Amino acid sequence: MKKWGILLTAVLMLTFVLAACGQEKNNGAGQAGNKAGQTTQNGAQAAEPDTNETDKTLTIGMSADFPPYEFHIKNEQGEDEIVGFDVEIAKEIAKDMGAKLEIKDLKFDSLLNELASGRVDLVISGLSPTPERAKQIDMSKIYYKAEQAVVTREADKDKFATMESLEGAKIGVQQGSIQEEMAKKIPNAKLTSLAKISDIVMQLNTNRVDAAILEGPVAKSFVKNVKGIVITDATPENEDEGYVIGVKKGNKELLDQVNSTLDRLIADGSIDKFVTEASELAEK
């Protein structure tokens, strides 16, 4: 009986040990499972991009139908590309900021709303510093000045040789532009305001308007590339002081960065170089 008692005791002890081992194994598996779950979550957080490695993007709004300021070409790869001297200035600002450049091609009259909403960081598009615009946005220092021009068909060059001769005429202008404001001051003039300058030139070529008021370099570019149109001797009154870059109200840090880049580009003659190169490209 004593042997049976010893044997029974040994069996019970073995059972207890095995049960304890099984419990420890189960607990270990549970802990491992929990650790695996935490690792997955932590791993996902760790996979988020390091802010030090994330490239900043500078988004520029412009109306790319304004040669030589900004316009479309087919590059050597046959791809559509926006070029122009405003584009070159934008590239320099982005470079000084250590940012990637993104260009949004928008209608001119929507640019300030896009800027105010934060959908673009800057507006660079032959923007004149009017008092009305100063209420909506902050503006950089002036980076370029240009004259205005009147364009008409070759046969009507002498007919519209003065600003007075435009009284009562049908005049094409870009919607939301400084030229539109100029045309509104011409007595009895009938305005056709369109989003794209190329459409204004088409209206001129199809006799839907008598003349168009355009930025000087833009007018020269279209005259060289579109048969049958000329610049007249009429000289529009030019009250604007030049062109600026638009920045969202209150963003002083970005405005200071823009002005710093412009100071450099003006001082070293880069802007004049950009204008010359863009004008030559537009003529092609």
Check residue 242 and give left, alpha or beta (phi > 0: left; psi -120 to 50: alpha). Answer: left
For position 55, what pLDDT does the model report?
78
Is-above-0.75 flag for pTM? no
Q: How many domains does the chain have?
A: 2
Instruction: Using pLDDT thresholds of 50, 70 and 90, give the confidence band for residue 51.
Output: very low
- Same domain for 201 and 172? yes
User: If you average pLDDT over residues 202-225, what whole number do you get?
Assistant: 92
- Same domain for 195 and 254? no
Task: Tell me the per-residue pLDDT of 101-158, one tens digit each, with 9 for 90 and over.
Answer: 999 999 999 999 999 999 999 999 989 898 999 999 999 999 998 889 999 999 999 9
Check residue 138 and give left, alpha or beta (phi > 0: left; psi -120 to 50: alpha). Answer: beta
pLDDT at 46 over 60: no
- Same domain for 88 and 123? yes
Instruction: Using pLDDT thresholds of 50, 70 and 90, give the confidence band for residue 282.
Output: confident
Task: Please report which residue ranges of the chain form alpha helices under DSSP H.
Answer: 2-46, 85-97, 111-117, 131-136, 178-184, 197-205, 216-225, 252-267, 270-283
- Same domain for 249 and 226? no
Contact between residue 233 and residue 116 where contact means Cβ atoms under 8 Å apart: no
pLDDT at 41 over 60: no
Instruction: Using pLDDT thresholds of 50, 70 and 90, give the confidence band for residue 2.
Output: very low
Give the contacts of 133 (CB within 8 A, at least 6 positions apart).
Answer: 112, 127, 139, 246
- Same domain for 245 and 109? yes
CATH number for the domain including 109? 3.40.190.10
Q: Is the dihedral of CA 92, 98, 104, 109 positive or negative?
A: negative
Measured CA to CA in angstroms, residue 90 lies from 182, 190, 243 at distances of 28, 36, 14
Least-confidence region, from 23-37, 62-76, 124-138:
23-37
Contact between residue 211 and residue 186 where contact means Cβ atoms under 8 Å apart: no
Task: Tell me the per-residue pLDDT of 231-271, one tens digit each, with 9 for 90 and over.
Answer: 999 999 876 678 999 999 999 999 999 999 999 999 999 99
**Look-up of token digits 């007018």:** 219
- DSSP tag of 156: G
- Same domain for 259 and 195? no
Measured CA to CA in angstroms, residue 35 lies from 23, 25, 40, 191 at distances of 18, 15, 9, 73
Q: How far apart are CA 111 and CA 159, in angstroms?
A: 35
Domain region containing 96: 57-145+241-283
